[in-house]
């Protein structure tokens, strides 16, 4: 959830009244953003996200990407060089 908040704060400070399509491999985050509600500590960044999109007049669309389809991004975020090499043989 904090990654979504960080991305919004980083990339939307200059834009207003726009649409953002968010692709995320965390199904719980996508569901929470769609419903506008979540239990536990993640409610704090969710509230900040809601305030940010309201202040910037942003329409946020969240799309869940299964982890299997997001293998390269997952490997890059974990610095899994072996998996990256297998997924992108041209990089070797």
pLDDT at position 16 over 80: no
Q: What is the pLDDT of residue 32?
A: 94
Query: If you average pLDDT over residues 67-76, what whole number do you get?
Result: 85
Confidence tier at 92 by pLDDT (50, 70, 90) = low
d(CA 21, CA 76): 21
pLDDT at position 34 over 90: yes
Catalogue the E-assigned strands of 1-92. 19-24, 59-64
Single pTM value for the model: 0.73
From the list 49, 48, 46, the residue with the least C-alpha distance to 38 is: 46
């Amino acid at each position: 959830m904090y990654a979504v908040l960080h991305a919004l704060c980083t990339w939307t400070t200059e834009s207003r009244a726009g649409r953002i399509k968010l692709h995320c491999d965390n199904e719980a985050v996508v569901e929470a953003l769609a419903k506008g509600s979540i239990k536990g500590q993640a409610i704090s960044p969710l509230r900040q996200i809601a305030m940010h999109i309201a202040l910037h007049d942003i329409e946020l669309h969240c799309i869940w990407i299964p982890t299997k389809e997001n293998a390269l991004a997952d490997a890059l975020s974990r610095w899994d060089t072996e998996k990256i090499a297998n997924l992108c043989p041209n990089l070797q």
